[in-house]
Chains A and B, each alone.
Chain A
Amino acid sequence: MTRNRRDPRAERAAIQVASVRGASGPARPRYDRTAKGTAKAAGGRPRRDPRSERAGQQVPGANRPRYDLSQIVHGERPVLAETRPRPAPEAASKILVVEDPAFLVAVVPDATGGRLSAHDRQVLGAARTLAGRDGGVVVVSIGPCESCGPAGADRHLALEDAGADPASRAARVTAALAALTPRHVLFPESRDGGDLARRVAVRMGAALFDNAEVVAAASLVRPARGRRVEQRAAPGLLASVAPDAVADYAGAPREARPLTVDLAPAAGPTSAILSAERIPADPATVPLGLAEFVISAGNGVHDLDTFRQLVGALHATPGASRVLCDAGLMPRHSQVGASGTVLAATCYVALGISGAPQHLQGVAGCEHVVAVNTDLHAAMIERAGLAIVKDAQEVMPALLRLLAQEAQRDAGDQM
């Protein structure tokens, strides 16, 4: 069977608009191509719209797009039912209680300032893996430590603070561990945690499986010989866990029941350390890679004196974009980005920087970014947590004025 033969001339004539004669010469022929039905009648099949078909196959309710390809949908009719219902999030998560744990897995967190760090939470996740269903995880913290339960601790033993001397802290932790007799003890492999782990290992005379990158009930894995080999052993008494290697505990919160252990009072001060004094970092001279708070100037900043005043007033470390360093306006060691310094700062303020990809690489590790730029579509504005579309040259003096006003008010208060 054959289709009717198309007659383009007749189709064209059918959609021609009756022309209005203009002032100059004969009117051009005009066609109404929006006329419905003409093309269909001529071509036969309706035209496919792949996009709306795809949208019609999408399963609603998932947080990433899922398509049900078995449903062939013509037109814009949506898929009626979700094929696989997702479990609803639990309304109230119950607190899990392990009444009589078969064995204990101890975790000695850094807990700087009484709070678990991200690394500490990962170590607690590793400890939960080792504890399984029957075991209990006990946090042995020096000083108080909050929110251990949601992080996966069944018990919590808070030792009294033994001072700054790491040797006496190690002695207290060793005594507490001897009283608890845990099956495994985990430390974070951080600056303080790694130090404490080795001191405890030497005191207990036990081997330390340090820097474990994989923690499972069957075995621990650590890299060795410049990451040429990995060593694998069954979990022993002491181990320390590498950062960003093990996931946090993700289950329901635990009770973190407080424990008390009778410890002999700390021995007298036999420490060889005569005095300890903390010297905070000087933001003006600290290397850019170590700085905590960096303010950078880019090509949108012309008045570098004001910029330096602002940096000094906010106690930040000065940085710069490649353009300023190339021009010799800022020293080369202050350059931020792939060819300069990659930052590890908490907060980064970009003044007049549009955000070249190489610059953004240097900022990738910063948690908070503030951008001031005249270009709404700059990449830095998109990256920033607080983006201000304004000339940095006007914002810098305004900030300095505001800081001066506050200082004046403070001085007035103290009078």
Chain B
Amino acid sequence: MRIAVLLSAGRHPVSGAAVLPRLEAQAIRIATRLAEAHGLHAGPDAAHGLHDGPDAAYGLHAGPDAAYGLHAGPDAAYGLHAGPDAAAVADALGQGLARIEHIVLAEGADPVPALAARLAATAPTLVLAGRRSQGGDESGIVPYMLAAALDRPLIPDVVSVAPGEESGTLRLDQSLGRGALRRLVVRGPVVATVHPDAPAALAYAFGQARRGVIEPLGPIDPPGIAAPAAAIEERPYRRRPKLVKGAPTGGSAAERLKAATGESGSAASGRLLVDPDPDEAAREILAYLRGIGVVAPARSATAGPKGG
């Protein structure tokens, strides 16, 4: 199984230094664990003495060096970067990738045609990407354009990937926010973007970073000129006040402050019970929680009024 992780030249949001975006580091963890699990269960080189046992499927327990040494072949996760400079993504080697393919592009060129051509040639089963670049235009449209160019489905907001029960299928867990998931079983090659709720990236390892290789792929024949962007004017960023929910328009600063600290909503009209009977307090609390809807209503209450 080939897994490509798209790497972008990220900039740190505060310092502006070159950095690997967090989501891409999380994508690398997902990709290496999937390659490992796949290699151990079905791959041709599954037989090896070091990692047999029930824990072997989990990348956390397997020794990192052996695992990556084993899967550095074509059956592995690798990075793909298109841009002028590969040093920007060298950090990804230390996160666990053994190999990064680097498509040399001119500064400011559109990376989508070059990436699409390379991905069409290598045909990985899974292409993982972050949600949007960090420090660039940050439009987040590259995975969508790639999926359209490759004619593959795009699965957004993925937190974990596992091989499906049938061969050729993948089981992807998609985050719906607040910890809820949607489990999709998908056939064939897919493009997926990673959600911030995915497991945290592994620690940077200096030895891996030294052993990893970056393969320059030479300039791919110049793709069509990038679509002429609409006239976009750039200025230094100016922070604008966020809307304060719940504050009346034309209200005073004191009212906005109350709305911001949460004292104007339910708290302003709050109920106060001083020293009630514990059972009465319990009934009040339960009725309140059911009124909000965080606790399911009593079944006897929904079934209808009950005598006695």
Chain A interfacial positions (CB closer than 8 Å to B): 63-64, 118, 122, 164, 166-167, 191, 194-195, 198-199, 201-203, 207-211, 213-214, 223-234, 236, 244-247, 250, 271-282, 286-287, 290-293, 314-316, 346-347, 349, 363-370, 372, 376, 381-390, 394-395, 397-399, 401-403, 406, 409-410, 413
Report the tally of A-B residue pairs with Cβ distances under 8 A: 258
Give chain A nearest CB distance to B251 CB in angstroms: 7
Contact A385 B243 (CB under 8 A): no
A369 CB contacts on chain B under 8 angstroms: 262, 266-267
Known: A226-B135, A231-B233, A370-B288. A382 touches B267 (CB 8 A): yes
**Further contacts, 20 of them, CB under 8 A, given A63-B248, A272-B187:** A122-B243, A198-B140, A201-B141, A229-B236, A232-B233, A234-B231, A276-B183, A278-B181, A278-B183, A279-B182, A291-B179, A315-B296, A368-B294, A381-B272, A385-B270, A386-B270, A386-B288, A388-B281, A389-B273, A409-B298
A231 CB contacts on chain B under 8 angstroms: 232-234
Known: A118-B245, A229-B235, A232-B232. A287 touches B179 (CB 8 A): yes
Instruction: Give the one of A383, A398, A413 with max B CB within 10 A.
Output: A398
Complex formed: what's the CA distance from A368 to B300 in Å?
A: 25
Size of chain B's interface in residues, with CB distance under 8 A?
91
B235 CB contacts on chain A under 8 angstroms: 229-230, 232
Complex formed: what's the CA distance from A403 to B240 in Å?
A: 48
Known: A207-B229, A233-B233. A409 touches B306 (CB 8 A): yes
Contact A245 B240 (CB under 8 A): yes
Q: Which of B157, B263, B272, B282 contacts A389 (CB 8 A)?
A: B272
Contact B282 A402 (CB under 8 A): yes
Give chain A nearest CB distance to B158 CB in angstroms: 12
Complex formed: what's the CA distance from A383 to B57 in Å?
A: 49
Contact B282 A399 (CB under 8 A): yes
- Does chain A have a CB within 8 A of B55? no
Residue of A nearest to B308 (CB): A409
Give chain B nearest CB distance to A264 CB in angstroms: 20
Contact B285 A279 (CB under 8 A): no
Chain B interfacial positions (CB closer than 8 Å to A): 11-13, 16, 134-141, 144-145, 147-148, 152-154, 156-157, 169, 173, 176-188, 190, 197, 227, 229-238, 240, 242-243, 245, 248-249, 251-252, 255, 261-263, 265-267, 269-276, 278-279, 281-286, 288-289, 292, 294-296, 298-300, 303, 306
Contact A385 B231 (CB under 8 A): no
Known: A224-B138, A233-B231, A287-B179. A315 touches B282 (CB 8 A): no
Complex formed: what's the CA distance from A368 to B262 in Å?
A: 9
Contact A281 B271 (CB under 8 A): no
A208 CB contacts on chain B under 8 angstroms: 139, 141
Q: Which of A166, A274, A382 contacts B169 (CB 8 A)?
A: A274
Give chain A nearest CB distance to B74 CB in angstroms: 24
Contact A368 B266 (CB under 8 A): yes
Instruction: Return the 9 tightest CB-CB contacts between A and B, nearest first.
Output: A281-B179, A385-B266, A286-B179, A398-B278, A398-B282, A399-B282, A293-B294, A279-B181, A394-B278
A247 CB contacts on chain B under 8 angstroms: 243, 249
Complex formed: what's the CA distance from A293 to B296 in Å?
A: 12
